[in-house]
Amino acid sequence: MIDHATGGTATPDGTALHQLHRGLRDEASSEPEAAHTGPVTKETQIIAIYGKGGIGKSFTLANLSYMMAQQGKKILLIGCDPKSDTTSLLFGGKACPTIIDVSSRKKLAGEAVRIEDVCFKRDGVFAMELGGPEVGRGCGGRGIIHGFETLEKLGFHDWGFDFVLLDFLGDVVCGGFGLPIARDMCQKVIVVGSNDLQSLYVANNVCNAVEYFRKLGGNVGVAGMVINKDDGTGEAKKFAEAANIPVLATVPAHEDIRRKSANYEIIGFPGGQWGDLFAELATNVAEAPPRRPKPLTQDGLLALFDAKDTGRDFVLEPATMLDMCGKEEIVKPSLEVVYDAAV
C-alpha cells in the first residue's frame, strides 16, 4: 500500500507515519531564515512608524514626509492613531476628516466614499487620517482594520506612491495596531524613542512583535530608530546598539524645535536650520534595509539606566496572609487522595 503523505510504502507498524511526524517536528524546530538585508526592491515602500504616545512620531513623520516630497518623492502619509492628530502639524493645526467618520456618514446617506473626501495635500505630500471610534464606543484596533479595508476599496495598491508612511501608536498591543507587522502590510518598521525608560520599553515591545512574527514566517524587519528630544545622556543609543538596529537620525532637545512644533510649523525643509537633519533622515529611511532585531529583556532595559534612577536594585518582598488579613494563615490538611505508585 502506498502512503501518499510520504511517497513511500506504509507498513503495518506505522513506520511511514512515524517518519512523517519526525519530519514535521524537525521542520518546526528549525530556525527561520535570516531577515532580508539587501535593498528593498518593491516599487512602493510602505513603512510603519511606532512609538510611545507623545514621543514625537507625528512631528517626525510630518517633517520627514515634507522633506521627502521636496526631494521629488511621491509621498502618502496615513495617520493610524485614534487621536487623529498625525496630519495636524502638516496642515497648520487643522484636522482633516477621518476615513472612519466619512465612511459612517456616507453609509447613512447611501453614498460611496471618494478619494477627495478623505485625502488632502500640501506641497507634494498627500495625507489622510484613518481615525477611530469615540471614547468608550468601540475598538480602536478594529477601526484601523476597517480603515484599511476602505483604502483597498479606493484602490490603495494602484496609487503608485514612492513611499507610504504609516503612523501607529506603540503603547497599545491589540491586533489592529499590529496589523502591518502581523500581515506583512509594510516592508519595514521604524521606532521613535528618547532617553527615557518608557519610550524605550515601547520601542522594545515593537521589536518583540517583529521578532515574534518573523518566527511565524513574516518578512517585516526594523529599519532603525529615530532618537527624538535627545538630551545627550545616551540611553536610546545604547538601546539601539543592544537591539541591533541603526540610529537613523538624532533630533536634539532644542527650544526652537519645541516651540515651532507647538505652533504647528514645519521645520524639515531644504535650506532651513534643521533641513540637513531631516534630509539625512529621509535618505537613511529610504535606504535602510529591514533588519531582524534582538529585543531586550526587562532587566536588559533597566541595565541601560543608572540603578538609582530606575530602582533596579530593589528586591521583591512577597506579601503574606498576615499582611492581607491581620492573622496568620491556618494550614489545613489536604483532602487530596494520593495513590501509591504502581509496582
Tell me how far CA of residue 110 lies from CA of 113, 129, 145, in angstroms.
10, 22, 21
What CA–CA distance (Å, rounded) separates 188 from 165?
A: 10
What CA–CA distance (Å, rounded) separates 105 from 111?
A: 9
What CA–CA distance (Å, rounded) separates 174 from 282?
A: 30
45 residue type, one letter = Q
CA atoms within 13 A on the CB side of 28: 6
Q: Known catalytic residues?
A: 52, 57, 83, 171
Q: Are 17 and 26 in contact (CB under 8 A)?
A: no
